[in-house]
Structure 1
């Protein structure tokens, strides 16, 4: 069992969730493991003497199999055999190490996440809004272009608001390397959600 996401990165908000990755030896043992974890959590939920109070256990059988639950009122997401979150955690730690400046990158993530979640209400992929990873990509891009001038999290927030409020979201999207014309992307099914400049004002 491994933690990933904002908790081990130390960029979590009070309303954030705890992400866990559980690994099984093979597909057969994965299915059994998922059922065992689900049973344990559900049994904890009905046991009044349990050390931790567990409730609202849900099994989401999508492309990524997840068990969601509340443990002591903390949202916990348990994924199975998913290494992507751990890779992202390692990548973001490396970015923070490269930027240095006493964890300016992580402090900037916390501040901009808080603004995005509590003030502008643009953060929350489960509601069709911007994902945390998407936000982190935007912040990394800012460090790519303004790294020598950024000295504190408030400066990063200022550059975030200044740069992305003027960005032409109708024609471009952002990658780590910079703007990418939307017309150059492959056609996708569904309606893409873009960060609208009006959210940044």
Structure 2
């Protein structure tokens, strides 16, 4: 029987590259792609729903999950912990749903060490100048913050070669189309079909 287990898709890219817009478009176009819900130790904000926006955990609960191998990746930020619970991801994949994680590079590398079948896609801007233009056009941050984001972006882009695929977001529709093509191709990979191939040969 063919492998109907859902894919684990890790999506990364620098701030301002358009990850959220790409992700929203992918979710609209495919009923089979599900966005992973992160866990955090910070308090819920107004309107946030446990299990939808985040899994809200105590620090003790979070650290217990980490120690028990229940987090695919995690990090501490501004005194709070954030991470990707393994159980929820695996449950969705078992149902045949593709699960997509939008995470930063260090978290992606944690998953790469633990997962043999994750699909890693890095979103690049057409140029550094274009990335700066997009950050400036958002008009949400001052010059110092933008420069700090660009410094982080240069580090992140230097790690792009460690991903399976790199997609340039010059035109949104093309970038979304490229990512969907990558996902479709990954479902047909020989590695993923190994069990099916063996079954066909053994039943010959």
Shorter chain as normaliser: what TM range?
A: under 0.3
Q: Which has the higher contact order (CA 8 A, sep 6+)?
A: 2
TM-score (ref. length: structure 2): 0.27
TM-score (ref. length: structure 1): 0.27
**Pair member with larger Rg:** 1
